[in-house]
């Protein structure tokens, strides 16, 4: 009987089906990195590069201008004042530009902030190359402190002709709970 | 051949020594497919009434504009738990119950392939729903984020009882997966000799395909609820933008499960209707092979249309076009099915017994739901319809007058086989006509208020929608009360009050289940029948 069971066709089929179930469970989680890779390649969710790119001063397209607009937003529970010093800039594709953002922590507690950029229309995201950005790191601010944060970027000369205008939105989150201590975040930011 | 003798021998052995324990233990310990089918069906009916009671709360609140009966947080819990219970507690277990009762009898097998797992997959279900329902009584309330539990509603803004919601969904998922595995193994390995794939009854075919959909997508649901759990309680950032995640990704993963899920809830219904219409039209099913291929194509297409639930999330135009056309493509195999049912009735000797009435109502009303689905598939107009009562009207037409009506049709059709007596025809007529009229009073005006812009899931509405909502609520209460007639009828039938049924029950009925006596004996097909 036990020998019959090991060759039981039911058992073999059940094992295969359980394999599919496990595979699909793993696939559910695999969708997370796949989604990121897919969006990285196509840039369709408006996400920009998360680490600095190196600026290659090759060809600057002087024949046309792209308008880049910056808007800022803080999420619920984030007390910082946060604004773009430059709200709108016209740039030549390929040219390196620097814009500044002002933050102030008016609250009575030390807070670690994290800015998340999002580009609209999303298709423009892959043409925005940041060589330096405050959004690459946590930004700690002691109670009452203020700061000016720079952001350096260039627009890829490959940007399609009809894309003449895009908006970069920075959303600021309070990540104090997730960043271990303000001091540690400060250390890692420096 | 040797396997057949072995099975037959084993069956006799069982008959001699099998004295089923009486009372509660019989139901708790049973491994008999008919007992488990009965348990599933009663459980789903109880859940149908529970979820229905919640719908009554929703409709009572929406009877008039303004907030009067429940507070908005409780209203949100009602819409959420109503959806969860109806999807996972009523429709899916009802189909699993029908699969348990019918698949072995239809393919000439003595039982399901994995009877102990069958017992387990049923008995974990009541606990899942006990956990879910108990969370309603906890501080902060139960889940209030909609049955789709979009992040960040379910992560950042949900009540502390969300972990219980997650665990109950896990248990429901495990139960469905085990049920699906059992169905596949049974159909794969236990068909009577001579029953080739293309001789299988349509209900068996549709369930086989449904079972594959279940094992493909329920694990994805388990994955996404687990991500919600860890995002909420363990500081991960799958859907939290601050930590590098993306809330829109939640919707992609959820709907990758969610869209095949809606076909899980309708394919077995297609199978049921494909049995009932030929019986009462006294003609074989028109286009059997095309029915099989249509079912399979619907199942395959269901994996590439999920983002039509997300047109307003800011997708690129190319993606919107792709999902729009892929969605519209599904209406082709679905149209084949509706055509085949109508062609089966064409020039048939039709009679209109209750199962047939429900089946015809299904064909007409499901098609209305399908057409509003096509309207929703059109990307540019979806921006207006999105999250309005038009969507509510659409999915209630396909789920209530579609899936639920098919389950009722199935109950009336096979009830004499299960109980051995004919149901009370007077009660049945009252049930059908009351349900048919009230369900349309309930759901049809929702199209109008939806097109006019009434948003779903909100406990209050603009004054302009007041009259329609009053009618909708009256239809809702009437539909709810009509189901009590069905309850009375079922109790009567289970007490064996009624005319004794013949083994064929309906004179046009064909299939193995109609060759065994009514009520079906506890053990059937101990010796497999030979299919010519």
CA-based nearest residue in chain B for residue A25: B219
Nearest CA in chain B to A22: B219
Instruction: Tell me, yes or no, whether A36 and A73 share the same domain.
Output: no
CATH number at residue A128: 2.60.370.10
**Which has the closest alpha carbon to A115: B498, B294, B242?**
B242
Q: Are residues A139 and A172 in the same domain?
A: yes
Of B189, B219, B252, the CB nearest to A24: B219
**Chain B neighbors of A177, CB-CB under 8 A:** 235
Query: How far is Cα B19 from Cα B14, in angstroms, rounded to an integer?
Result: 9
Mean pLDDT of B184-205: 95
User: Shortest CA distance to B390 belongs to which of B444, B469, B450, B472?
Assistant: B450
Can you tell me the distance from the alpha carbon of A164 to that of B224, in angstroms, rounded to the nearest whole number?
38
CA dist B391 → A54, B204, B254, B414 (Å): 49, 31, 18, 33
Determine the Cα–Cα distance for residues B205 and B185; give it in Å rounded to an integer: 13
Nearest to residue B223, comparing CAs of B200, B256, B179? B256
- Provide the total of helices (H) and of strands (E) in chain A, helices listed first: 3, 9
Same domain for A76 and A32? no
Which range of residues forms the domain containing residue A26?
A: 1-42
Residues with Cβ < 8 Å from B208, sequence gap 6 or more? Answer: B183, B184, B187, B200
Is there a single domain that holds both residue A4 and residue A98? Answer: no
Task: Kindly state the tokens that stand for A180.
Answer: 């271990």
Tokens 């809330």 appear where?
A: B247
Q: DSSP for A146-171?
A: EEEEEEEEEE-TTS-TT--EEEEEEE
> Domain for residue A146, yes or no?
yes
Cα dihedral value B512, B517, B521, B527, nearest 10: -50
Residue A134 and residue A171 in one domain: yes
The verdict on A22 and A84 lying in the same domain is: no
Asked whether residue A108 falls in the same domain as residue A73, the answer is yes
Model pLDDT, residue A6: 54
Q: Collect all residues of chain A within an 8 Å Cβ-Cβ radius of residue B248.
A: 45
A61 within some domain = no
The answer to whether the CB atoms of A29 and B184 lie below 8 A apart is: no
Q: Is there a domain that residue A188 lies in?
A: no
**Closest Cα of chain A to B5: distance in Å?**
15
A101 shares a domain with A31? no
- Are A90 and A162 contained in the same domain? yes
Tell me if A60 is assigned to some domain.
no
Judgement on whether residues A25 and A110 belong to the same structural domain of the protein: no
* The CA-based dihedral angle spanning residues B410, B411, B412, B418, taken in that order and rounded to the nearest 10 degrees: 110
Does any domain span residue A137? yes
B222 and A28 within 8 Å at the Cβ level: the answer is: yes
pLDDT at B185: 97
Q: Are residues A28 and A80 in the same domain?
A: no
Q: Count the domains in chain A.
A: 2
- Using CB atoms within 10 Å of the CB of residue B507, give its burial: 0 to 12 exposed, 13 to 18 middle, 19+ buried: exposed
B29 upstream amide cis, omega within 30 of 0: no
The alpha-helical segments, DSSP class H, found in chain A are 2-6, 9-42, 182-189
User: pLDDT tens digits, chain A, 190 residues: what are they?
Assistant: 444 455 688 999 999 999 999 999 999 999 989 888 887 777 666 777 777 788 776 678 888 899 999 999 998 888 999 999 989 999 998 888 999 999 999 999 889 998 988 888 888 888 888 888 888 888 888 999 999 998 999 898 888 888 899 999 999 988 887 776 555 655 555 5
- The reply to whether A131 falls in a domain is yes
In total, the C-beta contacts within 8 angstroms joining chain A to chain B are 90
Task: Tell whether A80 and A122 lie within a shared domain.
Answer: yes
Name the pTM for this structure. 0.90
CA-to-CA distance for B532 and B530, rounded, in angstroms? 6
Which pLDDT value is given to residue A43? 67
Residues A17, B314: C-beta atoms closer than 8 Å: no
Of the candidates B33, B34, B59, B82, the residue annotated as catalytic is: B82
Helix (H) or strand (E) holding A132: strand A128-133
Residue A189, in any domain of the structure: no
Residue A48 lies in a domain: no
ipTM: 0.86
């Amino acid at each position: 009987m036990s020998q019959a069971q090991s060759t039981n066709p039911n058992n073999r089929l059940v094992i295969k089906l359980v394999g599919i179930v496990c595979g699909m469970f793993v696939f559910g989680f695999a969708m997370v990195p796949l989604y990121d890779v897919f969006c990285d390649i196509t840039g369709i969710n408006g996400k920009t590069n998360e680490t600095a790119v190196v600026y290659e001063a090759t060809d600057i397209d002087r024949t046309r201008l792209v308008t880049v607009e910056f808007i800022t937003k803080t999420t619920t529970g984030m007390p910082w004042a946060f604004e773009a010093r430059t709200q709108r800039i016209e740039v030549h594709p390929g040219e390196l530009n620097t814009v500044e953002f002002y933050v102030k922590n008016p609250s009575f507690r030390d807070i670690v902030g994290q800015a998340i950029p999002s580009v609209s229309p999303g298709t423009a995201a892959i043409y925005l190359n940041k060589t330096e950005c405050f959004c690459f790191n946590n930004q700690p601010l002691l109670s009452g402190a203020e700061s000016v944060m720079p952001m350096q970027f260039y627009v890829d000369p490959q940007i399609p002709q009809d894309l003449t205008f895009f908006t970069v939105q920075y959303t600021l989150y309070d990540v104090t709970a997730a960043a271990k201590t303000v001091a540690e975040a400060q250390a890692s930011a420096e | 051949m040797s396997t057949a003798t072995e099975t037959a021998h084993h069956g006799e052995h069982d008959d001699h020594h099998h004295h089923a324990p009486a009372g509660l233990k019989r139901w708790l310990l049973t491994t008999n497919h008919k007992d488990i089918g009965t348990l599933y069906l009663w459980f789903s009916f109880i859940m149908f009434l529970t979820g229905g009671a919640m719908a009554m709360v929703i409709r009572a609140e929406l009877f008039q504009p303004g907030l009067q009966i429940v507070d908005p947080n409780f209203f949100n819990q009602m819409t959420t738990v109503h959806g969860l219970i109806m999807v996972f507690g009523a429709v899916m277990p009802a189909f699993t119950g029908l699969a348990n009762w019918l698949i072995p009898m239809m393919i000439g097998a003595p039982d399901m392939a994995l009877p102990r797992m069958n017992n387990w997959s049923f008995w974990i279900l009541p606990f899942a729903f006990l956990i879910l329902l108990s969370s309603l009584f906890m501080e902060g309330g139960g889940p209030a984020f909609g049955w789709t539990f979009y992040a960040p509603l379910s992560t950042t803004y949900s009540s502390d009882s969300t972990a219980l919601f997650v665990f109950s969904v896990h248990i429901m998922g495990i139960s469905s997966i085990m049920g699906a595995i059992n169905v596949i193994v049974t159909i794969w390995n236990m068909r009577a000799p001579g029953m080739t794939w293309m001789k299988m009854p349509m209900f068996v075919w549709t369930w086989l395909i449904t079972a594959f959909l279940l094992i493909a997508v329920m694990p994805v649901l388990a994955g996404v609820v687990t991500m919600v759990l860890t995002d909420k309680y363990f500081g991960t950032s799958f859907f939290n933008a601050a930590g590098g995640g993306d809330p829109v990704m939640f919707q992609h993963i959820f709907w990758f499960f969610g869209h095949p899920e809606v076909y899980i809830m309708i394919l077995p219904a297609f199978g049921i209707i494909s049995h009932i219409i030929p019986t009462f039209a006294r003609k074989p099913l028109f286009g059997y092979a095309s029915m099989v291929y249509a079912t399979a194509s619907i199942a395959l297409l269901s994996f590439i249309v999920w983002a039509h639930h997300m047109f307003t999330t800011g997708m690129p135009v190319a993606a919107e076009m792709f999902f729009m056309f892929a969605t519209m493509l599904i209406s082709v195999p679905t149209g084949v099915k509706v055509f085949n049912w109508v062609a089966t009735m064409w020039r048939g000797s039709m009679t209109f017994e209750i199962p047939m009435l429900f089946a015809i109502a299904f064909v007409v009303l499901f098609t209305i739901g399908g057409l509003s689905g096509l309207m929703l598939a059109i990307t540019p107009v979806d921006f207006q319809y999105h999250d309005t009562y038009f969507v509510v009207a659409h999915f209630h037409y396909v789920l209530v007058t579609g899936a639920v009506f098919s389950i009722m049709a199935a109950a009336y059709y096979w009830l004499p086989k299960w109980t051995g007596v004919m149901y009370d025809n007077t009660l049945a007529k009252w049930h059908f006509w009351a349900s048919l009229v009230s369900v349309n009073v309930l759901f049809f005006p929702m199209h109008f208020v939806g097109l006019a812009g009434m948003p779903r899931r909100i406990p209050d509405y603009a004054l302009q929608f007041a009259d329609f909502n009053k009618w909708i609520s009256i239809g809702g209460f009437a539909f709810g009360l009509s189901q009590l007639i069905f309850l009375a009828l079922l109790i009567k039938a289970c007490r064996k009050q009624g005319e004794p049924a013949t083994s064929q029950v309906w004179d046009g009925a064909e299939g193995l289940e109609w060759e065994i006596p009514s009520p079906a004996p506890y053990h059937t097909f101990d010796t497999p029948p030979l299919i010519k």
